[in-house]
A = this chain, B = another copy of it.
């Protein structure tokens, strides 16, 4: 299948957008392939010419965005800039809020956590190690707290500004980990 064919690009784009729209209105689980193809105005069989099933379509969307996200959350070699990173992540999340909510509500939520753990392992190796707490636990706590706080922020309708949230996240998570590291 030729990726450059305009028809291929158009069909996949329509299918992806249809999934996002449908998740917004009814969640992920209850969506059927027929619904997706109807919403996308695409033949039923055509769906299977591109994806093996609903999960694979979701996967294509997730993979596409997770790379961006990892790049943004990663430390820019300056270890004191984690607050800046947090803010950058919040900016990115806000502009892709629908997509992130979709991922968090779907079965792909674990992948986001995995990605965050990878980032956290990089960052943690530099600044967050502590003799009091095993490093895998530190990493996991950092990653899952970040995801969880992002999620809370999105689900509250972004009631606080990005700057406020970055500050809260700093107080609740980053400050804690730095302090544990400093006690060594």
Contact = CB atoms under 8 A, between A and B. Distances in A.
A176 B179 CA distance: 10
Dominant secondary structure at the A interface: helix
A148 interface: yes
Interface string A111-144: 0000000000000000000001110110011001
Task: Give the contact-size bracket for chain A.
Answer: 20 to 34
A132 to B, nearest CB: 6
Indicate how many identical chains form the complex: 2
Contacts of A176: 172, 175-176
Contacts of A145: 141, 144-145, 148
A97 interface: no
A48 interface: no
B148 A144 contact: yes
A171 B136 CA distance: 15
A92 to B, nearest CB: 21
